[in-house]
């Protein structure tokens, strides 16, 4: 199957990785943040000073106790960080040198319920997303279809295939295993130049197009959209390979490759570590440029990532760090209205629109927020059969009937990352979508 998406936007940003040979650095502190898993209501199962091994539970969902968030490394609980009203912010683990890992019982898995329980206990169900609502899947609901993306089209991202080049057996095992979970189809979306082979039991989809073509939800919306009353799962090829590793060995795989990118990084590179790694050692390995201006560290890409600090952590689902200038300490003539060719723009009004060079952006808003302008600019970068402006207005107005008719069951906040970038109204579109999805779920469930 071939899927050609004509809408989207690829940003040309400095700081791309050219050397794909992974480096290694010693990271000692790791963290799991429940806010990275929407829909999950966490209850902490550990306390400071407890010893844990990789795969042992740190938290579980209050509504479905079998759904766990698990430790990515063996070590000691360094802190359970809470915010206002005792909200759990993260659980920090100080890694030891035991490299101990939990063994899961895979011999007794024979039914769909067994398969779902294994995914939930191993923390892998939490790393999958369910649509509608873009949340951790409900273990009681079988998905109609499962959509796997082997593409990361976000700015400066490294192809997920780098992490699974030697894991074809694990991927096939995962496909066979997920056949117990769904009676529908399993789609794997790849670029035409992929090195991945055909897999038995999966439909291979060759996708061309600009970002957000790599989003599994965008692919699903163009292959077999989710309708009211239906449920689909979305995940990436790395998570699929981890499911296969669990099925084959009974052990979770937590090692990961993090791409350290951006114009403020002296040596953009990929680094092998574990999920939830602390940021500081990774940036020390890649080295920041010797500058005196303020910087912004982003766990993820510049469109959808989460702003963090030097002592912060890699947030799920990201395997990327991007460092750009903050811009709050910068003064320039005419500011956002400057016609400098060094400025990137989607508008042909600016000379930078016609340049193929890599730009050096900063985090400034470059304008004030205002009422939504119905210009059709969102449509140009969202390759889905929806009316984005009208859907966003329905979300803001909390009109459930209109939201349903306009396609809210198909979308996730990440699908609006490029639209938020081009938005002349400077609206927080992704947060609006997240709030709308949460409102819908609370109102209808």
**pLDDT tens column, 205-242:** 999 999 999 999 999 999 999 999 999 999 999 999 99
Give 54's strand partners. 101
Find all residues with CB under 8 Å of 131, minimum gap 6, and list them.
Answer: 217, 220, 226, 231, 232, 233, 234, 409, 410, 412
Q: Which residue has the tokens 């000691």?
A: 76
Q: What's the CATH number for 259-339?
A: 3.10.20
Reference 167, options 254, 102, 238, 101; nearest CA is: 238
What was the pLDDT predicted at 334? 67
Reference 299, options 333, 329, 276, 281; nearest CA is: 276
Q: How far apart, in whole angstroms, are the C-alpha atoms of residue 137 and residue 126?
A: 7
Q: How far apart, in whole angstroms, are the C-alpha atoms of residue 394 and residue 387?
A: 11
Structure-token pair, residue 250: 């009974």
Does residue 291 contact residue 264 with C-beta atoms inside 8 Å? yes
Does residue 279 contact residue 308 with C-beta atoms inside 8 Å? yes
- The torsion angle over the Cα atoms of residues 236, 238, 241 and 246, rounded to 10 degrees, is -100
Domain layout of the chain by residue ranges: 2-249, 259-339, 379-444
Q: What is the 3-state secondary structure (H, E, C) of the chain?
A: CEEECCCCCCCCECCCCCCCCCEECCCCEEEECHHHCCCCCEEECCCCCCEECECCEEEEECCCCCCEEECCCCEEEEEEEECHHHCEEEEEEEECCCCCECCCCCCCCCCHHHHHHHHHHCCCHHHCEEECCCECCCCCCCCCEEEEECCCCCCCCCCCHHHHCCCHHHHHHHHHHHCCCCCCCEEEEECCCCCCCCCCCCEEEEEECCCCCCCHHHHHHHHCCCCCCCCEEEEEHHHHHHHHHHHHHCCCCCEEEEEEECCCECCCEEEEEECCEEHHHHHHHHCECCCCCCEEEEECCCCCCEEECCCCECCCCCCEEEEEECCCCCCCCCHHHCCCCCCCCCCCCCHHHHCCCCECCECCCCCCCCCCCCCCCCHHHCCCCCCHHHHHHHHHCCCHHHHHHCCHHHCCHHHHHHHHHHCCCCCCHHHHHHHHHHHHHHHHC
246-286: pLDDT as tens digits: 999 999 999 999 999 999 999 999 999 999 999 999 999 99
Q: How far apart, in whole angstroms, are the C-alpha atoms of residue 368 and residue 378?
A: 18
pTM exceeding the 0.85 threshold for the entire prediction: yes
How many other C-beta atoms are found inside a 10 Å radius of the C-beta of residue 189?
A: 28
Query: Which residues of the chain are under the pLDDT cut of 50?
Result: none
Find all residues with CB under 8 Å of 292, minimum gap 6, and list them.
Answer: none
Counting beta carbons within 10 angstroms of the beta carbon of residue 150, is it exposed (0 to 12), middle (13 to 18) or buried (19 or more)?
A: buried
What was the pLDDT predicted at 349? 72
Does residue 321 contact residue 261 with C-beta atoms inside 8 Å? yes
């Amino acid at each position: 199957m071939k899927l050609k998406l004509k809408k989207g936007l690829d940003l040309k940003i400095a700081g791309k990785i050219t050397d794909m040979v992974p480096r290694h650095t010693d990271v000692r502190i790791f963290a799991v943040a429940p806010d990275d898993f929407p829909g999950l209501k966490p209850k902490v199962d550990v306390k400071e000073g407890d010893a844990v091994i990789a795969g042992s539970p740190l938290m579980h969902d209050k509504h479905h106790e079998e759904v766990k968030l698990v430790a990515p490394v063996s070590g000691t609980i360094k802190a359970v960080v809470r915010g206002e009203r005792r909200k759990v912010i993260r659980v920090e683990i100080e890694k030891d040198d035991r490299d101990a890992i939990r063994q899961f019982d895979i011999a007794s898995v024979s039914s769909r319920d067994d398969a779902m329980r294994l995914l939930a206990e191993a923390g892998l169900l939490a790393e999958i997303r369910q649509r509608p609502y873009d949340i951790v899947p409900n273990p009681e609901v079988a998905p109609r279809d499962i959509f796997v993306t082997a593409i990361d089209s976000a700015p400066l991202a490294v192809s997920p295939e780098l992490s699974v080049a030697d894991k074809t057996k694990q991927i096939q095992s995962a496909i066979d295993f997920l056949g117990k979970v769904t009676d529908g189809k399993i789609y794997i979306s790849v670029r035409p130049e992929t090195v991945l082979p055909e897999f038995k039991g999966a439909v291979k989809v060759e996708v061309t197009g600009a970002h957000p073509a790599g989003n599994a939800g965008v692919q699903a919306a163009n292959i077999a959209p989710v309708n009211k009353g239906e449920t689909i799962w979305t995940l990436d090829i790395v998570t699929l390979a981890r499911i296969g590793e669990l099925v084959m060995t009974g052990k979770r795989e937590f090692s990961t490759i993090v791409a350290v990118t951006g114009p403020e990084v002296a040596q953009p590179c990929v680094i092998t570590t574990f999920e939830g790694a602390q940021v500081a050692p990774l940036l020390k390995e890649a080295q920041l440029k010797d500058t005196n201006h303020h910087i912004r560290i982003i766990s993820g890409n510049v469109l959808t990532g989460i702003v963090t600090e030097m002592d912060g952590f890699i947030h799920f689902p990201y395997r990327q760090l991007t460092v750009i200038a903050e811009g709050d300490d910068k003064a320039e003539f005419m500011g956002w209205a400057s016609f400098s060719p060094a400025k990137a723009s989607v508008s042909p009004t600016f000379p930078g629109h016609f340049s193929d060079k890599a730009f050096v952006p900063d985090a400034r808003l470059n304008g004030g927020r205002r009422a939504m302008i119905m210009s059709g600019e969102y449509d140009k970068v969202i390759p889905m059969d929806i009316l984005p402006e009208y859907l966003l207005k329905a979300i803001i107005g909390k009109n459930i009937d209109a939201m349903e008719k306009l396609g809210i069951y198909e979308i996730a906040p990440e699908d609006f990352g490029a639209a938020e970038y081009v938005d002349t109204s400077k609206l927080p579109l992704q947060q609006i979508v997240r709030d709308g999805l949460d409102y819908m779920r609370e109102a209808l469930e």
